[in-house]
Amino acid sequence: MELFRVSTTLDHKRLDVVLSSHPKISSRAEAQRLIQAGVVQINDSREKVSPKKIVRMGDIVTFELLPLPVSTVVPVPFDLDIPYEDPYLLVVNKPKGVVVHPAAGHTTDTLVNYLLHHSKLSGKDPTRPGIVHRIDKDTSGLLVIAKDNATHDHLAKQFFEHSIRRVYYAIVWGVPKQSSGVIDQPLGRHPKNRKKFTIREGGKRALTRWKMVKPYRYLSLIQCELETGRTHQIRVHLSSIGHPLLGDSVYGSFKHYAEKFSLELKSVLKAYGGQALHAKSLGFIHPHSEEWIECHSDLPEGMTVAISALEDAFG
């Protein structure tokens, strides 16, 4: 039996949200499965609880980990870019345009499908085996993947404690007045559009450190390091300070001053589908050797083509 006390940051949250924050529970879906199985209790009460139940700061949540059903995700051949691998985990360089795990409309063309063809994966969540963290479909770059449940738990704890080092490169609109900065603004779902996230009071703490790599008059190459890893964090944070990502149709746009660009440059930039964001570096403590592992990846072709065009125009 596992137990934990509800912290201030989880006060007045749904039980499934609170439970999924525990490092031994890989997703909200797994939290809901445990709640519905009747193995979750609040303050030792024998009353069956709902995933929607609101918990309070100081409540004691106890739960029992159950055997997981066998994954039904289909392995699919794919040529993966794997900069690091051992018997316990691997680091994969996800291509832009690939969804991380199966969801509506994507059942056989996801990173999980491709990984299962390559290796056995942890079974913490049968719908997304091996997946400890995610990046957006149109974001490229590095992800660490667990091959067994003990490794998964150890890595999840590092993410929960924000001790993982994650560095991203982004092409953004405009040139910041400062050469670096910190954005410490809480994020939550948009009140009107549930597919979007926004800065809002009562949201989850989110902190992004950024610094200029190179300005290009109307755009900039920015490095971001995440202390937290909220959904759409970099996209929302950079947009909030007036520098949305190139190609981000959700939180940005093709800026009007792009009319000053040559037809060739405008064509290159408009051809970049999806946000210009790449998870370039990833560092963590190996769950078994306790060594620090750090991997790096080159920028994807689309970003290098855009940067080359900007260098030619403004470099």
Which residue bears the tokens 């790096």?
Answer: 296
- Report pLDDT digits (tens) over 291-311: 999 999 999 999 999 999 999
Residue 167 near residue 38 (C-beta atoms within 8 A) = no
Domain ranges in the chain are: 2-63, 84-152, 165-314
Residue 255 pLDDT: 67
Residue 92 near residue 80 (C-beta atoms within 8 A) = yes
- Report pLDDT digits (tens) over 188-245: 988 888 789 999 988 889 999 999 999 998 999 999 999 999 999 999 999 999 999 9
CATH superfamily assigned to domain 2-63: RNA-binding S4 domain (3.10.290.10)
Residue 211 pLDDT: 98
Residue 124 pLDDT: 84
CA distance 166 to 229: 9
Instruction: Please determine, for residue 70, whether its predicted confidence score (pLDDT) is greater than 70.
Output: no
| DSSP state letter for 308 | H
The catalytic residue positions are 136
Of the pLDDT bands very low, low, confident and very high (cuts 50, 70, 90), residue 254 is: low
| DSSP state letter for 256 | G
User: In Å, how far from its chain's centre is CA 78?
Assistant: 22
DSSP string, 122-153: --SSTTSTTBS----TT-EEEEEEESSHHHHH
Q: Which of the listed CATH numbers 3.30.470.20, 3.30.1330.30, 3.30.2350.10, 1.10.10.10 matches domain 165-314?
A: 3.30.2350.10
Residue 277 near residue 168 (C-beta atoms within 8 A) = yes
3-state secondary structure of 99: strand
Residue 204 forms beta bridges with which residues? 187
E strand or H helix at 62: strand 60-63
Name the class of domain 84-152.
Answer: alpha beta
Residue 68 pLDDT: 60
List all residues 6 or more positions away from 263 whose beta carbon is below 8 Å from its beta carbon.
none
Instruction: Please determine, for residue 139, whether its predicted confidence score (pLDDT) is greater than 90.
Output: yes
CA distance 129 to 131: 6
Residues of the chain with pLDDT > 90, as a percent, come to 72
Pick left, alpha or beta for residue 78 (phi over 0 → left; psi -120 to 50 → alpha; otherwise beta).
beta
- Report pLDDT digits (tens) over 160-200: 899 999 999 999 999 999 999 999 999 998 888 878 999 99
Torsion from C-alpha of 18, 107, 164, 24, nearest 10 degrees: 40
| Total-model pTM | 0.81
* Mean pLDDT value of segment 232-261: 88
| DSSP state letter for 184 | E
